[in-house]
Amino acid sequence: MADTRKPAQDFTLRIRRYDPESGEAPYWDEHTINLEPHRSVLEGILQARGRFDGSIGIRCSCKAAICGSCGVRVNGQAGLACHTHLDAALKSSRDGVIEVEPMGNMPIIKDLVVDMDAVHWKKIRRVTPWLLAQDPLPEREHIVPREAMVDVTQSMACIQCGACVSDCLSMEVDPLFVGPAALAKAYRFVGDPRDSQQFERLKDLAEDPHGMYDCTHCFKCIEACPKGVAPMNQIMRLRRRAGGDHHIEDRNNGFNHEHAFVKNIRRNGLLHENDLLTDSFGGKASPKAAMFLAKSLPVITRALLRRKATLKVALGHPHKAPKDVKRIFDVVEGRPERYDLNLYITGYDEEQSGAEEPNVGAIAGGGEDGQAIPSAPGASPKGAS
C-alpha cells in the first residue's frame, strides 16, 4: 500500500540507454530526481526526461497501469514503470540506485523501448485471438452464466504489457514457446462459453511442441503481471480443460501423471513411487508403461544402489490410506461443480479479505493449481474454509 504522507526526496535512477544510430554499445545513465516516495518510477523517468534529457526513450501514456505501455525491468524485475513505487524500488535496489532496463526476451529498439511486435504480438496472433462464435448469432445477447463472464474477465484484464513475456524462463530456453500472455489470451476464448472452437483451440495448443505443455511452472509470469492475470494459472486451466474435459492426450504425459498421483494417494495415503510410474502410463499391463519402465531402469538401479529405495519398499505395499484421506477425497469429489480459483470470484466472504490481495491471491492460487486434483482442482478459499 502506498504511503502518501512522506515529503519529496532525492532518488537516483540508473537507466539503461541504447542508441541504435550511434554504433555504440548500450550504457548506463544516471539521473537524480526529486519526488515523494510513493510516486512511480515512471514519474521519476519523466522528471529526468523533462528536466535533464529529453532523449530518454520510453513508451508511456496513461500513468495508471491500464494502457500497458511502460513495461520495463526495475532492479531486474519486469513490471510497469508506472506501477512501481520509488520507495519500493529503492528498497529492492542493490546499491541504493534504482536500475531501470528494457524488458527481456524482446529485441531493443532504443533505450527502454523494445520490439513488442516481433515477439509479443506475434505470439498473440498465433492463438487465433478472436471469438469464434456459434452460427447463427442470437438476436440479442448470448445468454451465459453470470460467473462465466466474471471468470474470463480475469484474462480479459490483461493489458498486453509484455512483462510476463519478458521474464518467462521457458521462453528464454525455447524462444518459440507460445508463452504466458498468448496462452492467457487463449484461455480468454477457451473459458468463454460463447466460443464454438474450444476443442480445436485446445488440441492445437496441446499438440504444438511449443504450446501449453512447454510451461515449467516457474511462477515468473505471475510475479511479473501487474494486473493479477496470473498467466500460469490460465495455462494450468487450459491443461485441465484439454486433459480433463476434452481428453486430449498431452505430449509429455503430465495430465496422466497428475491422475496417477491422485490415485496413488487415494490408495496408499503416502506416496508409493513404484505404482506412480506405471500408473502414469496406463497401468502395469500397458505397453507404454513397460517401455518407460525399461527406459527408466538405469535410474531405478542407481536409486537401489544408493539405497534411496529398497526392493522391499518398491515391491510391497507398506501403506494403506487412513480413513481421513478418504474423507478428504469424498468432500472434494462430492462437490457439484469444479472450483477454479479466480481473483474475480474469490473474496466473496467478508472474512476472506486476505485472498483479495491480487498478488497474494494469484500466487496462492498458482500453488493450488500446480498440484491440482483432477476432479476438483484449485479449490477456492470458500470451498476450503
Binding track over 282-311 against other proteins, x by CB under 8 A: ------------------------------
Specify the amino acid at residue 294: A
Measured distance CA(15)–CA(111) in Å, rounded: 8
- Can residue 9 be called a binding residue for other proteins (CB under 8 A)? no
**Applying CB under 8 A, does 383 fall inside the site for other proteins?**
no
- Residue type (1 letter), 236: M
Is the CB of residue 103 less than 8 Å from the CB of residue 168?
Answer: no
Residue 59 Cβ vs other proteins, minimum distance, rounded to whole Å = 7
Q: Interface mask (CB under 8 A) for other proteins, residues 134-163, using x and -?
A: ---xx-xxxxxxx-xxx-xx--xxxxx---
d(CA 300, CA 262): 22
Strands 77-80 and 98-101, sheet pairing: unpaired
124 near other proteins, rule: CB under 8 A: yes
- Rounded to whole angstroms, the Cα distance separating 103 from 301 reads 45
Cβ of residue 205: shortest distance to other proteins, in angstroms? 17
Q: What gap in Å lies between CA 273 and CA 299, rounded to an integer?
A: 13
When the beta carbons of 50 and 316 are compared against other proteins, the nearer one is: 50
Q: Which of 13, 15, 45, 60 binds other proteins (CB under 8 A)?
A: 60
Query: Binder to other proteins among 14, 16, 110, 288 (CB under 8 A)?
Result: 110
Helices (H), the chain: 41-51, 86-91, 122-126, 146-156, 163-167, 169-173, 180-190, 198-207, 220-224, 231-240, 254-268, 273-280, 287-305, 311-315, 323-333, 358-370, 381-384
Helix (H) or strand (E) holding 13: strand 9-17
Which CB, 230 or 260, lies closer to other proteins?
A: 230
Write down how long the chain is: 385
Phi and psi torsions of 223, nearest 5°: -65, -40
Q: Which residue has the cell 510391497?
A: 316
Please name which of 90, 251, 258, 60 lies closest in space to residue 161, comparing C-alpha atoms.
Answer: 60
Whose cell is 518459440? That residue is 176
At its nearest, how many Å lie between other proteins and the CB of residue 329? 30
Which one of 304-312, 344-352, 367-375, 377-385 is the stretch in contact with other proteins (CB under 8 A)?
A: 344-352
State which residue, 149 or 293, has the beta carbon closest to other proteins.
149
User: Exposed/middle/buried for 370, CB within 10 Å: 0-12, 13-18, 19+?
Assistant: middle
Closer to other proteins by Cβ: residue 17 or 272: 17
**Across the strands, what pairs with 242?**
none
Minimum CB distance to other proteins, residue 140 (Å): 6
Does residue 364 touch other proteins according to CB under 8 A? no
* C-alpha cell of residue 347: 473474496
Question: 158 vs 205, which CB is nearer to other proteins?
Answer: 158
Q: Exactly one of 12, 26, 29, 66 binds other proteins (CB under 8 A); which one?
A: 66
> Is residue 19 a contact point for other proteins (CB under 8 A)?
yes
Nearer to other proteins, 260 or 362 (CB): 362
Contact region with other proteins (CB under 8 A), list: 163-171, 176-184, 318-326, 345-353 = 345-353
Q: How far is the CB of 75 from other proteins (least distance, A)?
A: 18
Q: Which residues bind other proteins (CB under 8 A)?
A: 1-5, 19-21, 38, 49-51, 53-55, 57, 59-69, 83, 85, 109-111, 113, 116-117, 124-125, 129-131, 133, 137-138, 140-146, 148-150, 152-153, 156-160, 192, 194, 344-345, 347-348, 350, 353, 356, 358
